[in-house]
Amino acid sequence: MAKKTVKDIDIKGKKVLVRVDFNVPLKDGKISDENRIIQALPTIKYILAQGGKAIIFSHLGRIKEAADLKSKSLSVVANRLSELLEQDVVFVPETRGKALEDAIDTLKNGEILMFENTRFEDLEGKKESKNDPELGKYWASLGDVLVIDAFGTAHRSHASNVGISNNIGTTVAGFLLEKEINFIGGTLENPQRPFVAILGGAKVSDKIEVIKNLLKIADRVLIGGGMAYTFFKAQGYEIGKSLLEEDKIDLAKELLALADGKIILGDDVITAKTFDPESEKNVRSVEDIPSDEMGMDIGPRTIARFEKEIKAAKTVVWNGPLGVFEFPRFAEGTRSVAEALVEIKDQATTIIGGGDSAAAVIQFGLADGFTHISTGGGASLEYLEGKILPGVACVDDK
């Protein structure tokens, strides 16, 4: 998928609208994970160095009531961005109007402005999220070109990506979006083999289309996490109090048949009697899960089997944790797989598909050990499903 990037256009002296994904977690009014800001810095720095006038905007959370306007302001993000860039970031606490327009008009080459949370426009009528035509046209009028660097919202058709693109002459990708297109899209189009996909998380229903698509492409699909127990049930095993999507048992049977041996579930699990970080852990074979216990992690034999597949791989895509990694006692499976991927980094392309799996490797301090960690959870999933993402499709082709 050959898309134009910010390097393909002349931006000197131009007002460059930059849709980033600064939807960062906040705790007590402070940023608790600034990874998404860090990932956007190369694009922003390039625009400033080229003499562009950078106009940065993003959403932050969902806006449901007036009280959210205070707790979800991007002002704290603007302050942190200013520190990271070591230059002033003009923050305009508006999403439209004369104050914003005047501030943009006074920008000089190499200066940067950020305006308020785009989803403030959702308070009355969800104008941002439903791609209100008038809003997209207005935002497009504020700049000369659009740079999309927000992969996290690429699976959504919003006023701040598709809406602007429909009303502006030039739309290009930033460096982060380019990486996502190249790594995830490129991997699916032409993976080095063996290609191993690792899928975890809670629900089969979240990953149905991903599994179907990856079964066409991957050599092995390793499945763990809560979703594995619906597959175990489909194989006739009793799973105790483990997570189960009863209405997906027949589907799990169909996927196992379709896989023709490609799906690997493992044969042991870690269980506990209660969903508690201090609950006693037990190692159980999948055919021997007691009725009063629930699966919490993959077991040691399964870890060894997964590691064997990983060590032979040339491409690995991983989406979803393999156990309750938030509880240290039940994090061994997820951590072991992460460490196995770090070990093969020099011989293979290793991609973490955003969301909880990205949170896990960051929590383990292993973030530097992978070829690419996606910044989009939902967007990564839809990309892995083989879907066309609106926020990618609207970028100009080369």
Q: Mutual orientation of helices 75-85 and 35-49 as an angle, nearest 10°? A: 60
Annotated catalytic, 378? yes
Token pair of 40 as six digits: 């956007």
Look up residue 144 and give its amino acid.
D
Cα separation, 296 vs 273, whole angstroms: 10
Clarify whether 186 is annotated catalytic: no
Q: How many helices (H) and strands (E) does the chain have?
A: 16, 17
Query: Which residues contact residue 283 at a Cβ distance below 8 angstroms, ignoring those fewer than 6 apart?
Result: 268, 269, 270, 271, 299, 300
Catalytic entry in 45, 96, 130, 203: 203
- 220 an active-site residue? no
- The catalytic position among 110, 185, 186, 378 is 378
Set 36, 72, 127, 262: catalytic member: 36
CB 351 within 8 A of CB 372: yes
DSSP letter at 5 equals B
Q: What is the DSSP string of 292-344?
A: T-EEEEE-HHHHHHHHHHHHT-SEEEEES-SS-TTSGGG-HHHHHHHHHHHHT
Among the listed residues 136, 355, 376, 391, the single catalytic one is: 355
Q: Which residues contact 260 (CB under 8 A, 6 or more apart)?
A: none
d(CA 116, CA 101) in angstroms, rounded, equals 13
> Active site includes 137?
no
In angstroms, the Cα distances linking 357 to 14, 173, 175, 376 are 38, 25, 22, 11
Q: Which residue has the tokens 């269980």?
A: 271
Alpha carbon distances (Å) from 261 to 153, 218, 298: 35, 12, 19
Q: Which residues carry out catalysis?
A: 36, 203, 355, 378
